[in-house]
Amino acid sequence: MKTVKNFMKAILPVILLMLCFPRFVFCYIDPGTGSYVFQIIIAAFVAASFMVKVYWNKIKGFVGRLFLKKEK
């Protein structure tokens, strides 16, 4: 069950990635283009979890400061 869950966790973003390729314009491309295009796609995915992380840290910091004030 855990393997299936892990597999789904890994494969789902791949499917979504395939659906989310950005719109393109034509021009001649250097070998680093794959990396250039790919990072835009992958960044869109990791941005969501990064947002959760940023806000979670803000909440943790806020709560931490509250307790610190109370102790003082």
Partner 1 sequence: MEAQGTLPGSFRDPDGFMFRQQGRLYRQVNHSYRENYDLLIRSGLYQKLSTSELLVSHEEAALNEARTPGAYMVIQPRELPFISYPCEWSFSQLKDAALLTIKIQKIALEHGLSLKDASATNIQFLNGKPLLIDTLSFEKYVAGRPWVAYRQFCQHFLAPLSVMARRDVRLGQLSRIFLDGIPLDLASRLLPFSTRFRFSILSHVHLHARAQRHYQDKPRKTARRALSRFSFLALIDSLESAITGLNWQPRESAWAGYYEHTNYSPAAAEGKRKCVDDFLQLTNPRLVWDIGANTGLFSRLATDRHIPTISLDIDPAAVDMNYRQGRRENNAFLLPLLGDITNPSPGSGWENNERMSLLERGPADAILALALVHHLAIANNLPLARIASLFSRLCRWLIIEFIPKEDSQVQRLLASREDIFPDYHAQGFEAEFSRFFSIARRENIAQSGRFVFLMKSRSAR
Site map 7..46 versus partner 1, x via CB under 8 A: x-xx--xx--x----xxxxxxxx-xxxxxxxxxxxxxxxx
Helix (H, G, I), strand (E, B), or coil: what is residue 1?
coil
Q: List Cβ neighbours of 13 (8 Å cut-off, separation of 6 or more).
A: 45
Comparing CA positions, the residue from 52, 53, 60 lying closest to residue 68 is 60
Tokens 């990635």 label which residue?
17
Q: Which of 47/68 has CB closer to partner 1?
A: 47
Shortest distance, CB of residue 52 to partner 1, whole angstroms? Answer: 11
**Positions that interact with partner 1 (CB under 8 A):** 6-7, 9-10, 13-14, 17, 22-29, 31-47, 49-51, 53
